[in-house]
Amino acid sequence: MSESKKGLNLTLKVWRQDSAKAKGRFESYDVPNISPDSSFLEMMDVLNEQLINKGKAPVAFDHDCREGICGMCSLYINGRAHGPDDDITTCQLHMRKFEDGETITIEPWRSNGFPVIKDLIVDRTAFDQILEAGGFVSISTGGIPDANAIPIPKEDADEAMDAASCIGCGACVATCKNSSAMLFVSAKVSQLALLPQGKVEASRRARAMVAKMDELGFGNCTNTGACEVECPKGISVSHIARLNREFLCASLKQ
Protein backbone atom coordinates (compact mmCIF):
# COMPACT_ATOMS: atom_id res chain seq x y z
CA MET A 1 0.00 0.00 0.00
CA SER A 2 1.43 3.38 -0.97
CA GLU A 3 2.09 6.04 1.66
CA SER A 4 -0.91 8.09 0.45
CA LYS A 5 -3.16 5.05 0.81
CA LYS A 6 -1.85 3.91 4.17
CA GLY A 7 -4.62 2.74 6.47
CA LEU A 8 -5.65 4.88 9.41
CA ASN A 9 -5.50 3.58 12.95
CA LEU A 10 -8.23 5.36 14.88
CA THR A 11 -9.82 5.46 18.30
CA LEU A 12 -13.59 6.03 18.33
CA LYS A 13 -15.26 7.54 21.37
CA VAL A 14 -18.90 6.60 20.74
CA TRP A 15 -22.06 7.49 22.66
CA ARG A 16 -23.85 4.32 23.77
CA GLN A 17 -27.37 4.38 25.21
CA ASP A 18 -29.39 1.19 25.44
CA SER A 19 -32.80 2.89 25.29
CA ALA A 20 -34.54 6.24 25.55
CA LYS A 21 -34.81 5.93 29.34
CA ALA A 22 -31.39 4.39 29.97
CA LYS A 23 -28.39 6.39 31.13
CA GLY A 24 -25.92 6.96 28.31
CA ARG A 25 -22.13 6.78 28.37
CA PHE A 26 -19.15 7.01 26.05
CA GLU A 27 -17.31 3.84 25.05
CA SER A 28 -13.95 3.73 23.26
CA TYR A 29 -13.08 1.39 20.40
CA ASP A 30 -9.93 0.95 18.31
CA VAL A 31 -10.42 0.51 14.57
CA PRO A 32 -7.19 -0.27 12.69
CA ASN A 33 -6.26 0.03 9.03
CA ILE A 34 -9.21 2.12 7.83
CA SER A 35 -8.91 3.18 4.20
CA PRO A 36 -8.73 6.99 3.77
CA ASP A 37 -11.02 6.60 0.76
CA SER A 38 -13.81 4.91 2.72
CA SER A 39 -16.80 6.90 3.91
CA PHE A 40 -17.52 7.58 7.57
CA LEU A 41 -20.46 5.18 7.54
CA GLU A 42 -18.34 2.47 5.94
CA MET A 43 -15.95 2.93 8.84
CA MET A 44 -18.90 2.54 11.23
CA ASP A 45 -19.80 -0.68 9.39
CA VAL A 46 -16.27 -1.98 10.02
CA LEU A 47 -16.61 -1.14 13.72
CA ASN A 48 -19.93 -2.99 13.95
CA GLU A 49 -18.47 -6.05 12.23
CA GLN A 50 -15.71 -6.10 14.83
CA LEU A 51 -18.22 -5.79 17.68
CA ILE A 52 -20.47 -8.55 16.28
CA ASN A 53 -17.48 -10.88 15.82
CA LYS A 54 -16.66 -10.32 19.49
CA GLY A 55 -20.23 -11.10 20.52
CA LYS A 56 -20.99 -7.50 21.45
CA ALA A 57 -23.95 -5.30 20.48
CA PRO A 58 -23.29 -3.17 17.37
CA VAL A 59 -23.63 0.61 17.48
CA ALA A 60 -27.09 1.70 16.33
CA PHE A 61 -27.04 4.57 13.84
CA ASP A 62 -29.43 5.86 11.19
CA HIS A 63 -28.71 5.57 7.47
CA ASP A 64 -30.60 5.02 4.25
CA CYS A 65 -29.58 6.40 0.84
CA ARG A 66 -25.89 7.04 1.64
CA GLU A 67 -25.93 9.60 -1.16
CA GLY A 68 -26.57 12.84 0.74
CA ILE A 69 -30.27 12.84 -0.15
CA CYS A 70 -32.31 11.52 2.76
CA GLY A 71 -30.63 13.22 5.74
CA MET A 72 -30.94 10.15 7.95
CA CYS A 73 -27.20 9.79 8.70
CA SER A 74 -27.16 12.63 11.21
CA LEU A 75 -24.18 12.42 13.57
CA TYR A 76 -22.30 14.95 15.68
CA ILE A 77 -18.62 14.29 14.99
CA ASN A 78 -15.76 16.00 16.82
CA GLY A 79 -18.03 18.88 17.78
CA ARG A 80 -19.53 19.47 14.32
CA ALA A 81 -22.80 18.38 12.76
CA HIS A 82 -21.95 15.86 10.00
CA GLY A 83 -18.25 16.17 10.82
CA PRO A 84 -15.21 18.19 9.69
CA ASP A 85 -16.21 19.13 6.15
CA ASP A 86 -18.51 21.66 4.49
CA ASP A 87 -21.78 21.16 2.57
CA ILE A 88 -21.93 17.42 3.21
CA THR A 89 -23.97 14.89 5.14
CA THR A 90 -22.27 12.26 7.30
CA CYS A 91 -22.48 9.64 4.56
CA GLN A 92 -20.52 11.97 2.26
CA LEU A 93 -17.73 12.46 4.81
CA HIS A 94 -14.55 10.56 3.92
CA MET A 95 -11.95 9.25 6.31
CA ARG A 96 -9.17 11.23 4.61
CA LYS A 97 -10.46 14.19 6.64
CA PHE A 98 -8.94 12.54 9.72
CA GLU A 99 -5.36 11.92 10.81
CA ASP A 100 -3.73 8.61 11.63
CA GLY A 101 -3.93 7.98 15.37
CA GLU A 102 -6.75 10.49 15.88
CA THR A 103 -9.52 10.05 18.45
CA ILE A 104 -12.95 10.72 16.95
CA THR A 105 -15.87 11.59 19.22
CA ILE A 106 -19.25 10.52 17.83
CA GLU A 107 -22.53 11.69 19.39
CA PRO A 108 -26.21 11.87 18.49
CA TRP A 109 -28.01 15.20 17.96
CA ARG A 110 -28.46 16.97 21.30
CA SER A 111 -31.88 18.63 21.53
CA ASN A 112 -35.07 18.34 23.56
CA GLY A 113 -36.88 18.10 20.24
CA PHE A 114 -34.76 15.09 19.20
CA PRO A 115 -34.75 12.61 22.12
CA VAL A 116 -32.32 9.71 21.85
CA ILE A 117 -33.91 6.36 20.97
CA LYS A 118 -30.78 4.17 21.07
CA ASP A 119 -27.07 4.94 20.79
CA LEU A 120 -26.72 7.43 17.91
CA ILE A 121 -30.35 7.28 16.74
CA VAL A 122 -32.67 10.13 17.72
CA ASP A 123 -36.41 10.56 17.25
CA ARG A 124 -36.77 13.20 14.52
CA THR A 125 -40.51 12.84 14.05
CA ALA A 126 -40.81 16.36 15.49
CA PHE A 127 -39.99 17.66 12.01
CA ASP A 128 -42.84 15.59 10.59
CA GLN A 129 -45.21 17.09 13.15
CA ILE A 130 -44.11 20.61 12.20
CA LEU A 131 -44.83 19.86 8.54
CA GLU A 132 -48.19 18.36 9.43
CA ALA A 133 -49.04 21.63 11.20
CA GLY A 134 -48.76 23.69 8.02
CA GLY A 135 -46.06 22.68 5.56
CA PHE A 136 -48.44 21.60 2.83
CA VAL A 137 -50.98 22.76 0.24
CA SER A 138 -54.40 21.23 0.83
CA ILE A 139 -56.36 22.94 -1.95
CA SER A 140 -57.33 20.98 -5.03
CA THR A 141 -54.84 21.76 -7.77
CA GLY A 142 -56.61 19.75 -10.46
CA GLY A 143 -54.67 17.97 -13.16
CA ILE A 144 -51.11 18.65 -14.23
CA PRO A 145 -51.01 22.19 -15.67
CA ASP A 146 -49.01 23.22 -18.70
CA ALA A 147 -45.50 24.35 -17.86
CA ASN A 148 -46.25 28.03 -18.44
CA ALA A 149 -49.88 28.08 -17.23
CA ILE A 150 -48.90 29.72 -13.93
CA PRO A 151 -46.29 32.40 -14.65
CA ILE A 152 -43.69 32.55 -11.86
CA PRO A 153 -40.67 34.87 -12.01
CA LYS A 154 -37.49 32.82 -12.43
CA GLU A 155 -35.92 34.51 -9.42
CA ASP A 156 -38.84 33.40 -7.21
CA ALA A 157 -38.85 29.89 -8.68
CA ASP A 158 -35.11 29.51 -8.11
CA GLU A 159 -35.37 30.71 -4.51
CA ALA A 160 -38.29 28.38 -3.84
CA MET A 161 -36.29 25.46 -5.23
CA ASP A 162 -33.30 26.41 -3.07
CA ALA A 163 -35.55 26.35 0.01
CA ALA A 164 -37.09 23.05 -1.08
CA SER A 165 -33.62 21.45 -1.16
CA CYS A 166 -33.72 21.21 2.66
CA ILE A 167 -33.56 17.49 3.54
CA GLY A 168 -34.67 17.88 7.16
CA CYS A 169 -31.53 16.30 8.60
CA GLY A 170 -31.58 18.49 11.72
CA ALA A 171 -28.00 19.80 11.48
CA CYS A 172 -29.35 23.31 12.04
CA VAL A 173 -30.89 22.21 15.35
CA ALA A 174 -27.78 20.30 16.44
CA THR A 175 -25.53 23.27 15.67
CA CYS A 176 -27.66 26.04 17.19
CA LYS A 177 -26.77 26.88 20.81
CA ASN A 178 -30.51 27.18 21.46
CA SER A 179 -31.48 24.04 19.48
CA SER A 180 -33.64 26.20 17.25
CA ALA A 181 -35.44 24.70 14.25
CA MET A 182 -36.01 28.08 12.61
CA LEU A 183 -33.88 27.33 9.53
CA PHE A 184 -35.81 24.14 8.82
CA VAL A 185 -39.20 25.79 9.41
CA SER A 186 -38.29 28.86 7.36
CA ALA A 187 -37.15 26.72 4.42
CA LYS A 188 -40.45 24.82 4.41
CA VAL A 189 -42.41 28.08 4.67
CA SER A 190 -40.35 29.80 1.94
CA GLN A 191 -40.77 27.06 -0.63
CA LEU A 192 -44.56 27.62 -0.47
CA ALA A 193 -44.67 31.36 0.31
CA LEU A 194 -42.87 32.17 -2.93
CA LEU A 195 -45.32 30.26 -5.14
CA PRO A 196 -48.95 31.09 -6.03
CA GLN A 197 -50.13 27.68 -4.82
CA GLY A 198 -48.92 28.50 -1.33
CA LYS A 199 -50.69 31.85 -1.01
CA VAL A 200 -54.09 30.34 -0.17
CA GLU A 201 -53.01 29.05 3.25
CA ALA A 202 -50.32 31.63 3.94
CA SER A 203 -52.39 33.31 6.65
CA ARG A 204 -52.18 30.25 8.90
CA ARG A 205 -49.08 28.36 7.75
CA ALA A 206 -46.32 30.31 9.52
CA ARG A 207 -48.28 30.70 12.75
CA ALA A 208 -49.17 27.01 12.93
CA MET A 209 -45.67 25.76 12.17
CA VAL A 210 -43.96 28.15 14.62
CA ALA A 211 -46.47 27.22 17.34
CA LYS A 212 -45.79 23.51 16.79
CA MET A 213 -42.02 24.13 16.82
CA ASP A 214 -42.31 25.87 20.19
CA GLU A 215 -44.59 23.15 21.55
CA LEU A 216 -42.08 20.43 20.67
CA GLY A 217 -39.28 22.03 22.70
CA PHE A 218 -37.09 23.70 20.09
CA GLY A 219 -35.38 26.94 21.13
CA ASN A 220 -35.47 30.47 19.77
CA CYS A 221 -33.28 31.89 17.00
CA THR A 222 -30.63 34.41 18.07
CA ASN A 223 -29.24 35.03 14.57
CA THR A 224 -25.74 33.64 15.08
CA GLY A 225 -25.82 32.07 11.60
CA ALA A 226 -24.29 28.78 12.76
CA CYS A 227 -27.19 26.85 11.21
CA GLU A 228 -26.42 28.16 7.72
CA VAL A 229 -22.72 27.31 8.08
CA GLU A 230 -23.39 23.66 8.95
CA CYS A 231 -26.41 23.07 6.69
CA PRO A 232 -25.38 20.41 4.13
CA LYS A 233 -27.57 22.06 1.49
CA GLY A 234 -26.50 25.64 2.20
CA ILE A 235 -29.97 26.91 3.14
CA SER A 236 -29.69 30.68 3.69
CA VAL A 237 -30.73 32.39 6.93
CA SER A 238 -32.51 34.93 4.71
CA HIS A 239 -35.40 32.45 4.75
CA ILE A 240 -35.72 33.07 8.51
CA ALA A 241 -36.39 36.74 7.72
CA ARG A 242 -39.17 35.68 5.34
CA LEU A 243 -40.63 33.38 7.99
CA ASN A 244 -40.71 36.29 10.44
CA ARG A 245 -42.50 38.47 7.86
CA GLU A 246 -45.00 35.70 7.08
CA PHE A 247 -45.62 35.18 10.80
CA LEU A 248 -46.15 38.90 11.42
CA CYS A 249 -48.54 39.27 8.48
CA ALA A 250 -50.52 36.21 9.59
CA SER A 251 -50.74 37.54 13.16
CA LEU A 252 -51.98 40.94 11.98
CA LYS A 253 -54.62 39.34 9.76
CA GLN A 254 -55.86 37.25 12.65
Q: Please, which residues have CB within 8 angstroms of residue 30's CB and are 6 or more apart in sequence?
A: 9, 10, 11, 12
Whether residues 163 and 206 share a domain: the answer is yes
3-state secondary structure the chain: CCHHHCCEEEEEEEEECCCCCCCCEEEEEEEEEECCCCEHHHHHHHHHHHHHHCCCCCCCCCCCCCCCCCCCCCCEECCEECCCCCCCCHHHCEHHHCCCCCEEEEECCCCCCCCEEECCEECCHHHHHHHHHHCCCCCCCCCCCCCCCCCCCHHHHHHHHHHHCCCCCCHHHHHCCCCECHHHHHHHHHHHHCCHHHCCCHHHHHHHHHHHHHHCCCECCCCCCHHHHHCCCCCCCHHHHHHHHHHHHHHHHC
Whether residues 201 and 229 share a domain: the answer is yes
pLDDT digits (tens, 9 = 90+) for 101-117: 999 999 999 999 999 99
pLDDT at 199: 87
Whether residues 129 and 245 share a domain: the answer is yes
The structural domain count of the chain equals 2
Mean pLDDT of the chain: 93
Percent of the chain residues past pLDDT 70, beyond the cut: 94
Which of 92-96, 136-140, 221-225 is least confident? Answer: 136-140
Whether residues 113 and 208 share a domain: the answer is no
pLDDT at 203: 84
Whether residues 10 and 97 share a domain: the answer is yes
CATH of the domain at 21: 3.10.20.30
Q: Which of residues 117, 138, 154 is at a domain's end?
A: 117
More confident: 3 or 58: 58
pLDDT digits (tens, 9 = 90+) for 41-60: 999 999 999 999 999 999 99
Whether residues 82 and 172 share a domain: the answer is no
Range of the domain at 178: 125-253
Q: Would you place residue 138 in the very low, low, confident or very high pLDDT band (cuts 50, 70, 90)? A: confident
pLDDT digits (tens, 9 = 90+) for 192-251: 999 988 888 888 999 999 999 999 999 999 999 999 999 999 999 999 999 999 999 988
pLDDT at 3: 47
Whether residues 63 and 168 share a domain: the answer is no
pTM: 0.91
Whether residues 135 and 241 share a domain: the answer is yes
More confident: 214 or 254: 214
pLDDT at 2: 44
Whether residues 176 and 195 share a domain: the answer is yes
Percent of the chain residues past pLDDT 90, beyond the cut: 85
pLDDT above 70 for 1: no
Q: Which of residues 117, 136, 168 is at a domain's end?
A: 117
More confident: 62 or 145: 62
CATH of the domain at 169: 1.10.1060.10
pLDDT above 90 for 92: yes
Whether residues 133 and 247 share a domain: the answer is yes
Whether residues 105 and 131 share a domain: the answer is no
Q: Which of residues 82, 117, 152 is at a domain's end?
A: 117
pLDDT at 253: 83
Whether residues 91 and 130 share a domain: the answer is no
